[in-house]
Structure 1
Amino acid sequence: MGADGDGGPVHGSVLDGIGATPLVRLNRIVPEGGAPVWVKTEWANPGGSVKDRAALAMVLDAEASGALAPGGTIVEGTSGNTGIGLAMVAAARGYRAVFVVPDRTTPEKLALLGAYGAEVVPTPGLVPREDPRHVQQLAARIAAETPDGWLADQYANPANPDVHERTTGPEIWAQTGGRITHLVAGAGTGGTVTGAGRHLRRHGVEIVAADPWTSRYGGGDGSPYYVEAVGHYLHPLTGADSWPAVYDTAVPDRTERVGDGESLRTVRRLAREEGLLVGGSAGLAVAAALRVSAAAGPDGLVVAVLPDSGRIYLSKYFDDAWLTTLGFLDAAEEPLVRDVIGPHEPGLRVAPATVTIGELHAEVGPGGPGGAVPVVLPRATDADGTATWSVPDVIGCVRLGELAGLPAADRVGVHAGPPPPTVGHGEAAATAAARLDDAGVDPQDPVLVLVDGRGVTQIERAALDG
């Protein structure tokens, strides 16, 4: 609201600054001969992400319907951005705010929620959907038990996709002068790609959903990934997979699956080659958009939605040590872990926690170094067709010799010890060895070697000494 002067718009409230975010053209990382790629800078919203749009829309809708009473409490389960948007709206409109947040959320996001005066309830992020600690389950219970509590429920609230159909999609169409040919957006709740996609499809635009490689949306195995706030994780002990009601899967023409490594390395390129400091879901969208650009050719125009800023991921995606120890980045110091351990056979021998000791001896054979076998959460399939395992799915370790004499019908998971320590394949071998020694790892103890956050082989600690 307010008059526009020579210095720009004047708003009566911070909430009036939501939307109308700029488009920025990428100049240095677009493939030669490909379509131009423009990015929708959603971190320019006052709360710092695309979720500001849905947060305000959901609150206004709840006020109009009477679901949210004056002085009430806004409750939501969130990986951070929706909570930050709702916390900003709550502060501006006089509500209390309580957010259930998974324990994998960055410290920066937690600090922002606290800065707005919100109450944060941490909970394990990797539990079955039926578990009462699950983010959505716990948030629903808190809302029901709180006087004048209102659950925003971004996963099922139609105001989420509707605001993108009314604002985000039309903005992109107008900003490109109707020249856009492809929209690329990640799907978390699915609100952005559904709403903006609905509007742009009516103009003949091809809609591409960008998805982490292991996310269930694109057909992955549902195992954990390292790009926050996008995709669909599925705990293998969840009874029935349930997708967000707001995600209309008929809107995207196709899904572009992108591995964590490609996404996070794109994040780094955007900062260093384009001057754009963005989060992991933005790196995912741009990585997919670059593929779309190469296929579309120079006559196309690709727009990618960049949900948030890299400022809330400085402790992860821009931390060299974090990336290196997970196998996403190579250290400057040589030799690297992969140089020291040498070639290894593809495939990691593992024991699903639900198999019996008898089945383990019959199927796994001698096991890895020292007879040690990582114990993992069982998954029906591995999305990329190779025997690698996301670190959070490795829940323990057993040594076959120590299982001798135990009942053959016992489940392996009952007897598992702690999961093995990990090293990145591009970590400096001396640094990795020193880190393990400081942690008290014995020379014969098993160690998982990671590539892009997934275990690819197992070694003994002593192997790092060359």
Structure 2
Amino acid sequence: MSLTRLFPEDGRYFQRTAPTPLVPVQLEPSQPVSWCKLEFLNPSGSTKDRIARHMLEKAWRRGDVTQGGWVVEASSGSTSLALALACAQLDLRFLAVMPEGVSNERVLSIKAYGGEVISLDKSLGMEDAINRAEHETRERGGITTRQFENPDNSEAHRLWTAQEILSQIPGNLIEGVVSGVGTGGTLVGLFEGIFQSGCDVTPFLARPVSHAVISEVECCSFSKRLQGVMDGTSSIFSLERLPGLVEISTDDEDAIETTHSLIHHGFPVGPSSGLNLAAAHQAVGYLLHDANVVTVFPDRMDRYFSTELFGPYQ
């Protein structure tokens, strides 16, 4: 981890990391090897550091936001934490609009970075949070980063994450890329960056399927048990940008069990990592047995201590 001069004119520095590791993961001998990008090692603990940094840097250089200005985002999860950290580094003020019921670890982290949180009634969905974020931006000034439609979201992964992976994968060859979809920025950006490098790569959407009635809802999800995996909200995610997309449905129990297995093997990750790895196993089967399939471990486990994921340990 290092501090890099971001804006030489005012001497400000921005915390950056070296490229996150790409490691081969095989939890059991019967499972295929999947290449996993350890994005939970980014400064705020998730892959969303990449889009937060990229969106704010470009907004700053365009003059859309200046020192002391407001940044507002509708986010139930890691994007809000990443933006709160980045705003703390850049001397910006941050407000997260979040559905009620978001894990307390996330709320406390945002506040610790100096951000503010507005919690909406849990009966309201992400569209309501987006509308409230727009209202707060008009009232306070500044910008809303609009992660669900901002092209800088997927561009961050196309320009940075995908290029890191290509430099790390043996033989520079990738045949499949797997990700769950929140905004869609990760899957779209990785696919575009890898495809444009010349790889004949197939994109795989990891869709969690819930077979249980859960009363606690953190966001509008494919599965109410895997936070941050959403449907029908983002304009970034589209079939036109993901030609040949294959959808993989994974039971949320399998995703949670895979997450527990990852943690037991020393990967301090959240449930979206279990989802991605379980789907990656299926993607390898869809392709050739020895195909290079890449996925990401999006965030770390400490923001899930008060959720169902850690129920067995309490």
Which of the five TM-score ranges fits, normalised by the shorter chain? 0.7 to 0.9
- Aligned: 1:173 with 2:172: no
Contact 1:31-1:293 within 8 A present in 2 as well? no
Deviates more, 1:47-56 or 1:169-178: 169-178
Counterpart residue number, 1:17: 16
- Report the Cα offset of residue 10 of structure 1: 4.3
Is the Cα–Cα contact under 8 Å of residues 125 and 135 in structure 1 kept in the other structure?
A: no
- Corresponding position: 1:79 with 2:76: yes
Give RMSD over aligned pairs: 2.2
How far did residue 40 of structure 1 move?
0.5
Q: Which has the higher contact order (CA 8 A, sep 6+)?
A: 2
Structure 1 residue 224, shift from structure 2 partner: 5.2
Within the alignment, does 1:305 sit opposite 2:299 as a pair? Answer: no
Q: Is the 8 A contact 2:95 2:117 kept in 1?
A: yes
Q: Could you tell me how far 1:104 is from its partner in structure 2?
A: 2.7
Q: Does 1:248 align with 2:238?
A: yes
Are 2:198 and 1:208 equivalent residues in the alignment? no
The answer on whether the counterparts of 1:30 and 1:290 sit within 8 Å (CA) in structure 2 is no
Write the letter of the residue equivalent to 1:200: I
Residue type at the aligned position of 2:36: V
Corresponding residue for residue 185 of structure 1: 179
CA gap 1:128/1:111 in 2 versus in 1, 3 angstroms: closer
Name the amino acid aligned to 2:190.
Answer: A
Amino acid at match of 2:133: A
Kept in 2, the 8 Å contact 1:31–1:294? The answer is: no
Contact 1:212 1:225 in 2 (8 A): no
> What is the Cα deviation at residue 311 of structure 1?
1.3
Q: Is 1:44 paired with 2:41?
A: yes
Deviation at 1:222? 6.7
Please point out which of 143, 146, 165 is paired with 1:150.
143
Which amino acid is 2:202 matched to?
E
Is the partner of 2:310 in helix, strand or coil? coil
- What residue number does 1:263 align with? 255
Deviation, structure 1 residue 223? 6.4
Tell me by how many angstroms 1:297 deviates: 4.2
Structure 1 gap ranges (5+): 1-8, 215-220, 233-241, 323-466
Structure 2 gap ranges (5+): 6-12, 211-219
DSSP 3-state at the match of 2:193: helix
Answer yes or no: is the 8 Å Cα contact 2:208–2:222 preserved in 1.
no
**Alignment equivalent of 1:279, drawn from 254, 261, 270:** 270
Larger Rg computed on CA atoms? 1
Q: Deviations over 1:257-310 (max 9, x none)?
A: 2221111111101111x2112111111111101112234344211111111001
Q: Which has the higher helix share?
A: 2
CA gap 1:129/1:159 in 2 versus in 1, 3 angstroms? closer
Aligned residue identity for 2:54: A
The sequence identity of aligned pairs, in percent, is 29
Query: Cα distance 1:21–1:151, how it changes in 2: closer, same or farther (>3 A)?
Result: same
1:164 aligns to 2:163 (yes or no): no
2-structure distance, mates of 1:186, 1:173: 20
- DSSP 3-state at the match of 1:11: strand
Partner residue, 2:59: 62
Amino acid at match of 1:142: E
d(CA) in 2 for partners of 1:72 and 1:283?
A: 37
Aligned partners of 2:270, 2:57: CA distance in 1, in Å?
A: 28
Asked if 2 retains the 8 angstrom alpha-carbon contact of 1:227 and 1:260, the reply is yes
Q: Which moved more, 1:152-161 or 1:171-180?
A: 171-180
Cα offset, 1:11, TM superposition:
2.8
Cα deviation code 1:201-243 (max 9, x no counterpart)? 23211111112226xxxxxx976511011122xxxxxxxxx53
**In structure 2, C-alpha distance between the alignment counterparts of 1:186 and 1:293, rounded to whole Å:** 16
Q: Cα 1:299–1:260, aligned 2, differ >3 Å: closer, same or farther?
A: closer
Letter in 1 for 2:49: D
Q: CA 1:129/1:58 → structure 2, altered by over 3 Å: closer, same or farther? A: closer
Contact 1:30 1:37 in 2 (8 A): no
CA gap of 1:30–1:304, structure 2 versus 1, over 3 A, is: farther
For 2:177 and 2:285, locate their aligned partners in 1 and report how far apart those are by CA, in whole Å: 14
Which residue pairs with 2:190 in the alignment? 196
- The letter of the residue matching 1:141 is H
Task: Give, in whole Å, the separation in 1 of the partners of 2:150 and 2:45.
Answer: 21
Could you say what secondary structure the match of 1:201 adopts?
helix
Aligned to 1:121, what secondary structure does the other structure show? strand
What SS is found at the alignment partner of 2:239?
coil
TM-fit CA distance, 1:69: 2.7
Q: Distance in 1 between matches of 2:294 and 2:204?
A: 10
1:20 to 1:126, Cα distance in 2 relative to 1, 3 A: farther
SS in structure 2 opposite 1:193? helix
Contact 1:51 1:85 (C-alpha < 8 Å) held by counterparts? yes
CA contact (8 A) 2:208 2:223 kept: no
* Bigger mean CA deviation after superposition, 19-28 or 189-198: 19-28
1:320 partnered with 2:312? yes
Matched residue, 1:137: 131
Aligned-partner Cα distance in 2 for 1:121–1:181: 42
Residue type of the partner of 1:211? Answer: R
Is 2:286 the counterpart of 1:289? Answer: no
Deviation string, structure 1 residues 49-106 (Cα, Å, up to 9, x no partner): 0100100111111112222133101111111211111111111010111111112311
